[in-house]
Amino acid sequence: MTLETTSSSPTVVSPNVSTLNLDSSTQGSDAEKQLEPVTERLPELEVPPDGGIQAWLSVFGCFLVYFCTLGLINAFGEFNVFYTDDYLSNYSPTLITMIGALQVFVLYFLGAWVGPIFDAYGPRYLIPASGLVMVFALCMLSITQPHRIWQQYLTEAILLNGGAAFSFYPSMAVIGHWFKRRAAFALGFVVAGSGVSGIVFPIMINKLLPKIGFAWTVRVCALIVFVCYTIATFTIKTCRSSKPLPNSLFKVLDFGAFRDLRFTTFAIGAWFSTFSVFNPYFYIAEYSTAMNGPSSISAYLLAIICALSIFGRILPGLVADKWGRFNTMTAFTAISGILVLALWYTSISRTNEIVFSVLYGFASGPFFTLLAGCVAAITPIEKIGARIGILFAFLSTGALAGSPIGGIFVKTQDRENFQHLILYTVGVSMLVVRRGFQLTVPLAGNHGPRRIILFWPCPLSM
């Protein structure tokens, strides 16, 4: 199926001005003449400036938000080992893994409401409120008692990530207010924050737990979150005016997004991806310990994945801005699945595990970076927050089910059962990339029309 869009035509973001679509036969000189009167009517601040001091300060603040939100989720692998071996050893591994899966679910699910709230009020109140709730949740987590898993579910999974959601989505959506042409690159820097914290938190937690205990380790995490959110509160700004929030719950939720076939197809492909993309993050340390015994190397594997994902979240942003965000995401989704099968499935030594961690960290990075960028590419600027929110709410069920389903395969910690988990991860990845949904984009320029073919997985076409 083919959809016609225009990637080089201007995005008119004022709600009172209709969008100007350039026909593919329009030449560059004619296009400029048609564009002039429309551009003059636009409010200056409604057009993304694609740079400036405040824009990059906002990027830095959003980086810190990601450092705390997704970073703590990525670090759950270390808590998972500690819970399984000691703190919650009376519960099954699947039930413990559900804590991490529920973290992602809560963070994603609340996006359907947070996105429209951000579109209405901006980040001014959402960022500090989110930080306060997260610090409170970590303080409550620090006083939980051993062998009572419901306390971890309440504090670490629900309260912590419920608070995180109110800054997580504004940190993605506000980039679309400041950037258009360089949006994927800017988002790469923002999402790299979770990669940096994926190095800091796992290593810090691994070193502090045996020295100062669980309670004070979590309090150190709370202090880091407090400092980061204090800075983020004063650096994250928007250049768009606010708008009233709809009174009706139905109007707040942007279900109209699913009437756009491009958005719906993209959402389905991303939903399948969430079943598999987190499995190496949650299970690599446990797999290494089961295969080769306890070692300090096992504790660093998650940090290695997160370290390389920093480059995987920034560098593909440069490629995506040139060759297409959908193209880039699809290619790296396929590469991730191949690496899981070729390296993780066959890993029987520490060396293989390290090589896999390095390569998978880089290859999985674009999935986290380009989700918001792909949505922004096919969404009016005044609806970016709502569309990103409804997408992540849709993805929440896949995130909730994916890792626990993988945990079912690991009935006992032997190589055969872990290979079942790995094959499940590969199978879902290949399901996503088996078919491509084709978007044909005519571009008008001085040299006449040219076409770029973008691909995004469409499971419905299989």
- Give domain limits for the chain: 52-239+254-461
Q: How far apart are CA 215 and CA 270, in angstroms?
A: 36
Q: How far apart are CA 126 and CA 129, in angstroms?
A: 5
- Given a contact cutoff of 8 angstroms between Cβ atoms, the answer to whether 188 and 137 are in contact is no
Can you give the pLDDT at residue 137? Answer: 95
Q: How far apart are CA 215 and CA 32, in angstroms?
A: 63
The H or E element containing residue 235 is helix 183-235
Q: What are the backbone dihedrals phi and psi of residue 446, each rounded to the nearest 5 degrees, phi first?
A: -65, -20
* Tens-binned pLDDT, residue by residue, of the chain (462 aa): 434 443 333 333 433 333 334 343 444 444 333 333 333 343 444 666 677 788 889 899 999 999 999 888 877 878 888 898 888 888 887 788 889 888 988 988 887 788 778 877 778 889 999 999 999 999 999 999 988 899 999 999 999 999 999 998 888 778 877 777 777 778 778 888 887 887 888 889 888 998 999 999 999 999 999 999 999 999 988 876 666 666 655 566 777 788 888 888 888 888 888 887 878 887 887 788 878 777 777 778 878 888 888 888 778 777 777 778 888 888 888 888 888 888 888 777 888 888 998 999 898 888 877 887 788 888 887 777 778 888 888 888 887 887 777 777 777 677 777 878 888 777 776 666 554 444 433 333 333 334 333 444 433 323
- Residue 93 contacts by C-beta under 8 Å, 6 or more apart in sequence? 84, 286, 407, 410
Q: How far apart are CA 372 and CA 376, in angstroms?
A: 6
Would you identify the CATH topology of the domain 52-239+254-461?
A: Growth Hormone; Chain: A; (1.20.1250)
Can you give the pLDDT at residue 35? Answer: 36
- Given a contact cutoff of 8 angstroms between Cβ atoms, the answer to whether 278 and 402 are in contact is yes
Report helix, strand or coil for 3: coil
Largest CA distance in the chain: 72
Q: How far apart are CA 194 and CA 185, in angstroms?
A: 15
Tokens 């699910």 sit on residue: 109
Can you give the pLDDT at residue 10? Answer: 38
Can you give the pLDDT at residue 162? Answer: 92
Tokens 């709502």 sit on residue: 386
pTM exceeds 0.75 for this model: no
